[in-house]
Structure 1
Amino acid sequence: MTGLRTVSPLEISDGVIVAQPPVEDTAAAWLAGAWPAGGRVRYQHLVYQAGADINDSIPPPDNPTLWIKVGPTNTWALFNGRTSQSSKFNATASYRFRFGRAVDAVCAMGMTGVHSVRVRVLDPTYGTVYDKALTVGLAPETADWWEWHFGEWTPTGVLGLFTGLPAFPQADVLVDFIGTTDMEVGNLILGNAKEWGLGVEIGASVGIQDFSRKELDEFGNRVLVERTYIGWADMSVPIRRSEIMAIKNYMTKNRAKPILFLGSQDIEALNVFGIAKDWSVAIEYHDYSMFAIQLEEV
């Protein structure tokens, strides 16, 4: 039985990215000088929009009254720890990282139009020590002949998870995506996996918090306006006596950081990249306690 696994993402910076897709964003790189109102620039992997005509040498972060932060650049959106923004690519995308430490888990989430994901670990002394690819395809929503021929097919492998990468601290980690001309990747997470307890108990629940507008107007007509939503999952995990302080310290340390929680190998809804809205450890038995956690997607 597999316990609850967690992956805390390593920080992505210019110092660890060896290579990335060649065009970071359609926005031009910021330079001191004149920019028209509405013009967009990129600066330190963020996109800013001019709120008025600008002609100065003050970088956008230091001039928030004139520059409006839009969000991350395209090739860095998959590192921003949010599920609401994604990176868009034309058929292929490749990243190469050098952390100077061991990395044993890679996960790509929120993929659309992606056919395959490949992860390699290249050590300067031993060469290729890990090379694995995951095929992402489409499948019927239910195992039924009618659905197979006429039903809607949905993506499979939307969680591109690679664990058990060998520990080579000086190695480079390469991640390659192949797909359609309009493929998207929501999150790319690299880190080290931890395993807690004896597995998620039966009785876990999943759902969404919907922010859509669903109201009746003064004439009794239903007004529906689709808006965003946040996925959530509640689960309980029996943990060992020796894990109580360890999991308390881990959750405290990462209390305001998104974490990848992997609750199941076959129920993908129990795998959440998000934050712990609430958690507790009930010390019910001498050798085992119950770790209860409420998760929300970021």
Structure 2
Amino acid sequence: MKMIRPVAVTPATLTSSVPETAPGAWAGGTAYGEGERASIVTGSRAVVYESLAAANVGNDPVSSPAWWREVATTWLAWAGGTTYGEDDRALDAANRLEYVSLQAGNLNHPLTDAAWWYPLPSNRWAMFDQVNGTATRARDSLTVTIDLAGRIDSIALFNVSAATVQITVSTAADGIIHDETINMASDSGITDWFAYFFEEIIRRSDLVRLNLPFYANPAVTVTLSDPGSEVSCGTLVLGAARELGAAQYGASIGITDFSKKEADDFGNYVIIPRAFSRRGRFTVWTGNTQVEALLSLMGDYRATPVVWIGEENMAVTALFGFYKDFNVEIAYPTVSVCTLEIEGLT
């Protein structure tokens, strides 16, 4: 069993294809160069498009797919004179947040007024918060590069929607030292040829790699792709893996559902879907010489979400969350038995 200790991602280390603030509104008389961006603004919502060619004049991004590609959606900054409807949003770029209007007729209420606004991470930063259910979303592809100080050897992605995920690692001195593309199609549940040909294709939503080169100060680039569709990532974690011991067979994994399900007097149910989290319980065997270090490690990460990996070859045993309970039984002269109860984040 292993854990990945996450490194912090900051504005200084992140480069993302997802815009934080909206570029200028599209103007029909402006000549856009290849790669330049413009926004189509509706209310407080800004859909960002990127020009596919030079000398791009008079081609409406919404109706000119040969000239423009949709990139992602962002929101305009809060404006005191704007009336916001329910579910409209306003961007607080300084704090990397989007605020959702809780009521219609929201006029001149500052973002700090909790009766009128609810904060969420901005689209660019949603994949780096501590909630799997808030995802960074883009059209066709999503690329992030994190310039790191120090060393890492592992990466984990959760709540992913993409056809492929490409991971590259490079350094200033050596160039690209790792380049891997993973097909997210899953063969889980394919038990015979009939299922292979006729069952619906499903994709993995989680991905863990523990094989990144352990170079100093690397740049890690991750690209999610699915041409013609939306791609998204709920959580991306980079860090160094730490061996905890050997997980014993008999581990359990499951789901805690926070949906609301209530029956009336006649047995009819009203179901309100809500978030869910994953959980796991593991028994781990480790040498007695490691017990002191493990207790110290668990103390350091007692209130920090990390990635827990029960078995490297079983992605379903990877959880992003915290431990609820950790115990060590010094069972034998040279070996101890540890129990870990993990609570995943929603």
* TM-score, structure 1 normalization: 0.86
Residue number among 74, 99, 115 corresponding to 1:26 in the alignment? 74
Task: Choose the corresponding residue for 1:243, options 270, 287, 290.
Answer: 290
Seen in structure 2, the aligned counterparts of structure 1 residues 50 and 267 have a Cα distance that, compared at 3 Å, is closer
Q: What is the CA-CA distance between 1:167 and the residue it aligns to? A: 3.0
CA contact (8 A) 1:79 1:189 kept: yes
Distance 1:206 1:49, change over 3 A: closer
Cα drift, residue 124 of structure 1: 1.2
2:149 matched to 1:100? Answer: yes
Structure 2 residue runs of 5 or longer lacking an equivalent are: 21-72
Q: Provide the C-alpha distance between the structure 1 equivalents of 2:212 and 2:271, rounded to a whole number of angstroms.
A: 47
Change (3 A) 1:241 1:160: same
Report the counterpart of residue 9 of structure 2 in structure 1. 12
Question: Bigger shift: 129-138 or 79-88?
Answer: 129-138
Tell me, in whole angstroms, the C-alpha distance in 1 between the residues paired with 2:187 and 2:342.
28
Q: How many angstroms apart in 2 are the aligned matches of 1:71 and 1:153?
A: 32
Cα displacement string for residues 58-81 of structure 1 (whole angstroms, at most 9, x for unaligned residues): 7x4xx3457623311112111112
Distance (whole Å) between structure 2 residues aligned to residue 216 and residue 73 of structure 1 = 37
Between the aligned partners of 2:212 and 2:262, the Cα distance in structure 1 is: 50
SS of the equivalent of 1:29 reads coil
The aligned amino acid for 1:53 is L
Tell me what 2:342 maps to.
Answer: 295
Q: Secondary structure at the match of 1:264?
A: coil
Q: Distance in 2 between matches of 1:221 and 1:23?
A: 45
Identity %: 24
Contact 1:54 1:66 in 2 (8 A): no
Name 2:306's counterpart in structure 1.
259
Q: Hey, what's the Cα distance between the residues in 1 that align with 2:244 and 2:155?
A: 18
Cα gap change, 1:123 to 1:282, in 2 (>3 Å): same
Are 1:46 and 2:120 counterparts?
A: no
Structure 1: stretches of 5+ with no match in the other structure: none
Which protein has the larger Cα radius of gyration, Structure 1 or Structure 2?
Answer: 2
**Please, which of 202, 205, 216 is the counterpart of residue 169 of structure 1?**
216
Contact 2:155 2:208 in 1 (8 A): yes
**Partner SS for 1:148:** helix
Alignment of 1:78-227 (within 5 A): 78-112=127-161, 114-139=162-187, 141-156=189-204, 158-180=205-227, 181-197=229-245, 199-227=246-274
Deviations along 1:79-112, whole A, 9 cap, x unmatched? 1121221121211111111122112111222212
Query: Could you say which structure has the greater relative contact order, defined with CA pairs below 8 angstroms and 6 or more residues apart?
Result: 1
Aligned length: 285
